[in-house]
Amino acid sequence: MRLLYSRIYRALPRFYSMPSTSTVKGLARKEEEGQVHLQGWVKRMERRGEFTFARVSDGLSNDEVQLVIPKDVCETVRKGDAIRASGSWKRSKGHMQTMELYAEKCKIHAKDEDASYKNWNTDKLREHVHLRVRSESFAALLRLRSRLFLETHKFFSGLDYIHIDTPSLTQNDCEGAGELFIVQDAKSKDKDEFFGKPVFLTISSQLHLEAMTSGIPKVYTVNKAYRADVQVSSSHLSEFRMLEVETGFCENIDETCDLVESYVLHCTRLLLEDKTMQQDFALLGIFSTKDHLEIVRKIAESEKFPRVPYSEAVQILKTDKKWEHSRQTMNKKNELYLAKKFGGPVFVTHYPSNQKPFYVMRDPSDSSLTLSFDLLAPIVGELAGGTVREQSIEEITKRGGGDIDWYLEIRHRGKPVSSGFGVGFERLLQVLLGTKNIKDTLPFPRHYGHIQC
């Protein structure tokens, strides 16, 4: 038996390193001639005599390679077809490319009856979300999303933060806003039957991350969040992804602002410096604007984002006649105005205590204010929000959080004071990519009155 396992393990590396289908990106950089295999979709094609010349992409990058198909190998290749081919990778006789694949075998795996996605606007693509990946521009956006998701993990892992898988099912309304989805099993009409108590889809992972700082001082998650927000607009989703970070032994909002700032600047600078990301950014087309790269460049050049107390921000709005006297809090128009006024992202700090929930620590020098901040940015308004978390069980109870027993208990069981923040990942993509409608930042958007697939 031991000999059998030994043979299997020795065979595995050989199995996974066997010659297989090449990526288009790999072929586009391959200058040695030889036999290769290719799969992907025909983006453009033309017939000349006995040959079809097809530009093929596999969707893994923005690269294309030329496939030369003799008529006797495959006669009916058309734009949009999903094909698999093998043959000789050799020097090209044309001037548009250095190398090309001369097909000796070619199989059409699927046909596209109407490959005219360049003619579809964002609204039409949004009506057919299951087909959006066929759009070159949307495929580029998804590659950028994937890369930024990966870089988020790299960034926080590099700072010794530990990723936590926080639950999607919860008993708690973290923000106290009541915009929750109730969960129940399909067989029962009683929402309390399955778990024995009301259960909701989470609106935030913050409370669970706080619990983790009882034993690990630096934690984060990039989890799904859900909000039953009855809104139909370009800035609302019912299902979205949140980057949430919690740091133990931290009672200073400036340190947390520094971390948010470092992360946002890291993402903007990566987008500007990484060649592959720049190539995908250039393909965004209708999902961005022509001048947006300059906005990103201006953000990336920032040494430090301005930090303004809430009272000062309100005074600016009043002085500039942008504040409505009947309103008690800033709205999105106010937030966008302040971001424009300061020339980019700006932190607004020390919000009034009556605007913040039970878990936010009050300012020791003025209990009417909180140790809190929002980061306001172009396109989205509020991009991030953070606070120092209240340590006092008495204060939490007095403010209405006393019914979460486990949340109170961790304060008896070694949880240090902590500070944390959340960033809406789709909002971050809007800021970085210039995507006006948040529903265009993820493949399958869910929002009020609307769900596909």
Q: How many CA atoms lie within 13 A of 145 on its CB side?
A: 23
Q: Kindly state the tokens that stand for 142.
A: 């998804």
Q: Whole-model pTM above 0.85?
A: yes
Q: Does domain 19-115 have CATH number 3.40.50.460?
A: no
pLDDT tens for each residue of 295-340: 999 999 998 999 999 999 999 999 999 998 777 889 999 999 999 9
Q: What Å distances lie between residue 186 and 180, 190, 200, 442, CA to CA?
A: 18, 10, 15, 28
pLDDT tens for each residue of 125-175: 999 999 999 999 999 999 999 999 999 999 999 999 999 999 999 988 766
Domain positions in the chain: 19-115, 122-451
Q: Which residues does 19 contact at the CB level (< 8 Å), separation at least 6? A: 37
Buried b (16+ CB within 10 A) or exposed e, 276-310: ebeebbebbebbbeeebbebbeebbeeeebebbeb
Q: Which residues does 393 contact at the CB level (< 8 Å), separation at least 6? A: 402, 408, 411, 412
Q: How is residue 398 annotated by DSSP?
A: I
Number of helices followed by number of strands (H, E) in the chain: 13, 20
- Please say if the pLDDT value at position 18 is more than 50: no
What is the CA angle 54-55-60, rounded to 5?
135
Q: May I ask the CATH architecture of the domain 122-451?
A: 2-Layer Sandwich (3.30)
- Asked whether 193 and 185 are in contact (CB, 8 A), the reply is yes
pLDDT tens for each residue of 331-380: 999 999 999 999 999 999 999 999 999 999 999 999 999 999 999 999 99
Mean pLDDT of 216-232: 94
